[in-house]
Structure 1
């Protein structure tokens, strides 16, 4: 393969499988075959590291304070202040967790693992007021991100965060709650149209008794489990939750559903049915081995086809992390990272609903596009940002209920970010032209108008700011 073509191929691979690639690394890998480059993503000795921002002691302390207040409606002034303090502490720890994960994505030597964790974070979308439970679920998604899908699915299903979010604590013998069973099939495994309402009712009975302890550990309670006979997918037996999961995975349509989700996240927002079917057949044959499936995806010729290169809108997290990694950005005031996520419409650990973020063109509207195009120059030059992008998910919910949301006051905030320009510029040969820098920083080809503008840049630094402020920089 021509080295220039390989350069573009490797750049595309790292853009989708990670958050970009440094110029020296790209130059080095472009001299090798793409199969050699893929080896970096599948090391045999990978050891995922958990996030440890929130301790179990934090969670226990908050639960004890909440338990003391109980469900009281008439609180004394002191109790009202105590409840406010509980919420404040939860919010502080949740923000710390959010920022720590974002910083890990910016600094990790294993961006593919974090990208896969980000994929599962959206696939198994979940909101919880307990930051320890949120961290626990995130660590489950990271630990099993590239392993066996069944193991990942079972562990997610047993996590306190998900059991709480989908009301399985209320799922009891003779009084089943169908919420978890419904979302398990509709959003996490097989998709709509491939099960009946009766399948939901019967499987909900199988998950009765799945609960968790105050210490945040899964607990099965036989006393509230329905041991009666259940009929699911045409089979009858005394099924428990894991038996239901096994039967869902035995259906090839589950492999198709998961493959379609992977395709739209890593390849193209508009799935190609033939490519999805090819991936699904392979996934089913490999018994849902995620690493094998991702290797197949990145090895396929269609992954590198022109229609799949530079055509996906970066999610807000991909945009923020990619920019920060490329320019070695450090944030003196981490709170700005929370504001960026909220304004751009992707706040980690706070999906809009159980379906997750819709992605694709929904990432861009008139207000968020203007903010996206301003952010690079402000981050790279330490400017001031006027935050007034997308609404908070809770505000959107209030609007949907025809209730008046809290007034949104645009927040002006100093970015207090430092790009390491010396380190960034040292990555490039001295004779590098601004147009060559554009070819590195952008996934789509630069059009003639912008190419002429970039060619006249005063310096590579000036060109870099211009390039990252272009609409094309929003694509990967």
Structure 2
């Protein structure tokens, strides 16, 4: 696989950026990615959703007194917005000129987990997403502070129930265990006193605020420091700890490059991260530019998102069915805004079980045949007949040079799709695209799509 294709997949969701990486060079490509603009306009599906606490109270009261039909309609509208948000985000990933920002949003989304099912207020989920988007390349300590005081995280980890004299430790525990320094680097007393410091931090119109009657203003000892600490103070103290950089550098290396990051690299990049005061852009630049120089392809299993968006891109599918994509991601265990636990998606080998592999092959078969997995309703021709269902059909085509023979086309596809080719694979591909293949012939594209379908089912195709 060409290096530019490999890194286009690692830094985005398809091979679409390979030409830019070659033309600009990696460092300029990264700079453009960091400076990329993003849409801040409120999506249409959220315009009528409740946003302030007063609007939420009014909505909940209306829900209580609504008749069954009206209640069902209100709840369906909420569910519709949740689905539309997933589709809206996939569109950002697929159409962004420099999609690294959206890849980082997805990374943070799986690091600072907060699910829509638990939060259950679509506007708060959107606000949370925008915090991740705006701070994707910013400062890790400042991002942690923003997350800690977001309505979505406060609701998700039950800090609304954390009050003076009746403490809830969920947010305090996950702040240490999963978000910053990891198990073994704190005590149960730190968790208890962290919960006291977070007591009374509750949802408000523009992010969480302390409620005077519920907060604890006594002195707390946290990692050996004593004072009347609040949310920001906790984060400042955590980021003074020796172990702070390594949990996040390990996860970044796993997200982008290695399913099993070498420990020496975790420490090396972690020490650098501390040196640059936890600036995410600096860390990413160092990791990407140094790892780019190494021949390390095939060290990571594609997640379902990269798998499906690469398929759509390679097959040049227009009017992409985002419902199909969200359903596929859910089937593969990568349902947006709905991780199974606060630990997030496991990644690695969990992305390639026998069932997931079969689902991927089925998806490739369907898309390569020009058939979506989403059914559409076909209205009856005669009055009185029942509607029937059929699958959406569309044209697919593969980009390939039309001035070479079968081996040239095979080489072109494998150079951008798989990290290695052995003799057995080469023989199989030459049996599919035979020596007399004419790239200018009317049905040449059909033959190349069939070759592409074969390649997508190879174990080597699942790796980057």
Find the aligned partners of 1:62 and 1:379 in 2 and give their Cα distance. Answer: 42
**Which ranges in structure 2 are unaligned for 5 or more consecutive residues?**
376-387, 438-446
Q: How many angstroms does 1:260 deviate by?
A: 0.9
**Equivalent of 2:189 in 192, 198, 210:** 198
Query: Is 1:38 the equivalent of 2:27?
Result: yes
Aligned to 2:417: 442
**Equivalent of 1:151 in 142, 160, 174:** 142
Q: Decide whether aligned partners of structure 1 residues 242 and 384 sit closer, same or farther in structure 2, where only a CA change above 3 A counts.
A: closer
**Equivalent of 1:266 in 256, 267, 271:** 256
Query: Is 1:249 the equivalent of 2:236?
Result: no
Aligned to 1:55: 46
Q: How many angstroms does 1:198 deviate by?
A: 0.6
Find the aligned partners of 2:19 and 2:411 in 1 and give their Cα distance. Answer: 13
Query: Is 1:138 the equivalent of 2:129?
Result: yes
Find the aligned partners of 1:198 and 1:345 in 2 and give their Cα distance. Answer: 35
Find the aligned partners of 1:461 and 1:8 in 2 and give their Cα distance. Answer: 20
Q: How does 1:66-105 map to 2 (within 5 A)?
A: 66-69=60-63, 79-105=67-93
Deviations 1:166-217, CA, capped at 9 Å, x for gaps? 011111122121110101111110101111111001011111222222x453
Find the aligned partners of 1:150 and 1:57 in 2 and give their Cα distance. Answer: 34
Q: How many angstroms does 1:346 deviate by?
A: 0.7
Kept after mapping to 1: 8 A contact 2:12/2:99: yes
Q: How many angstroms does 1:269 deviate by?
A: 1.3
Kept after mapping to 2: 8 A contact 1:259/1:280: yes
Aligned to 2:209: 219
Query: Is 1:279 the equivalent of 2:269?
Result: yes
Aligned to 1:107: 95
Kept after mapping to 2: 8 A contact 1:42/1:291: no
**Equivalent of 1:177 in 144, 149, 168:** 168
State the superposition RMSD in angstroms.
Answer: 2.6
Query: Is 1:11 the equivalent of 2:5?
Result: yes
Q: How many angstroms does 1:465 deviate by?
A: 2.6
Find the aligned partners of 2:203 and 2:87 in 1 and give their Cα distance. Answer: 27
Kept after mapping to 2: 8 A contact 1:107/1:325: no
Q: Which moved more, 1:335-344 or 1:355-364?
A: 335-344
Aligned residues: 429
Q: How many angstroms does 1:127 deviate by?
A: 0.9
Aligned to 2:450: 462
Deviations 1:303-326, CA, capped at 9 Å, x for gaps? 5544x3123111111211222233
Find the aligned partners of 2:260 and 2:173 in 1 and give their Cα distance. Answer: 26
Q: Which moved more, 1:96-105 or 1:465-474?
A: 465-474
Kept after mapping to 2: 8 A contact 1:437/1:464: no
Find the aligned partners of 2:26 and 2:159 in 1 and give their Cα distance. Answer: 44
**Equivalent of 1:298 in 265, 277, 288:** 288
Kept after mapping to 2: 8 A contact 1:55/1:132: yes
Kept after mapping to 1: 8 A contact 2:46/2:122: no
TM-score relative to the length of structure 1: 0.83
Q: How many angstroms does 1:124 deviate by?
A: 1.0
Q: How does 1:385-424 map to 2 (within 5 A)?
A: 385=373, 416=392, 418=394, 421=397, 424=398
Aligned to 2:104: 116
Find the aligned partners of 1:107 and 1:332 in 2 and give their Cα distance. Answer: 11
Kept after mapping to 1: 8 A contact 2:115/2:337: yes
Deviations 1:210-238, CA, capped at 9 Å, x for gaps? 2222x453333233211100000011111
Kept after mapping to 2: 8 A contact 1:178/1:200: yes
Q: How many angstroms does 1:448 deviate by?
A: 1.7
Query: Is 1:168 the equivalent of 2:151?
Result: no
